[in-house]
Amino acid sequence: MSLTERIQQDMVAAMKQHAELRLSTLRMAKAALKNREIELRRPLEEAEAQQVFASLIKQRDDAAVQFAAGGRPELAAKEREEIAILESYLPRALSAQEIEAAIRAAIAETGASSPRDMGKAMKAAMAHFQANQQRVDGKQVSETVKRLLTPAGQ
């Protein structure tokens, strides 16, 4: 079953259960997927749908941080609840240790040895994550690659 079909089924279930937050979150996600399909002028592949969800999660996370900084904890909590709903449709995110292990393998594979080789290592690591349909935060990957390629004491 595709992600879109699963969302549609879960929307019906949320309507029956009167789960307003879940329903509104799923409607927003369905609209975002449809907008992306219209943009591309073709049905989305599963990886593209997951990218849409990842961007929605990132938007919610940024909003939650802003709400918390602005003294609106109730709105920040709502955004975090939406993140939990959206994340349930994506594969499990990798842990920091799993990310570091994959990056070390990519560094060894590319022969990267200094921060100047960061692009090669990032490209290889991200290709590995995408090929295995693993969900990672690009910022976290970038910081880890930079840390591993920077000599100690610099």
pLDDT tens, per residue, the chain with 154 residues: 788 899 999 999 999 999 999 999 999 999 999 999 999 999 998 888 988 998 999 999 999 999 999 999 999 999 999 999 999 998 888 888 999 999 999 999 999 888 888 999 999 998 888 888 788 888 899 999 999 988 764 5
CATH level 3 topology of 96-149: Arc Repressor Mutant, subunit A (1.10.10)
| Distances, alpha carbon 25 to alpha carbons 2, 83, 107, 138, in Å | 18, 9, 39, 24
CATH level 3 topology of 3-87: Hypothetical Protein Yqey; Chain: A; domain1 (1.10.1510)
Q: What are the sequence ranges of the domains in the chain? A: 3-87, 96-149
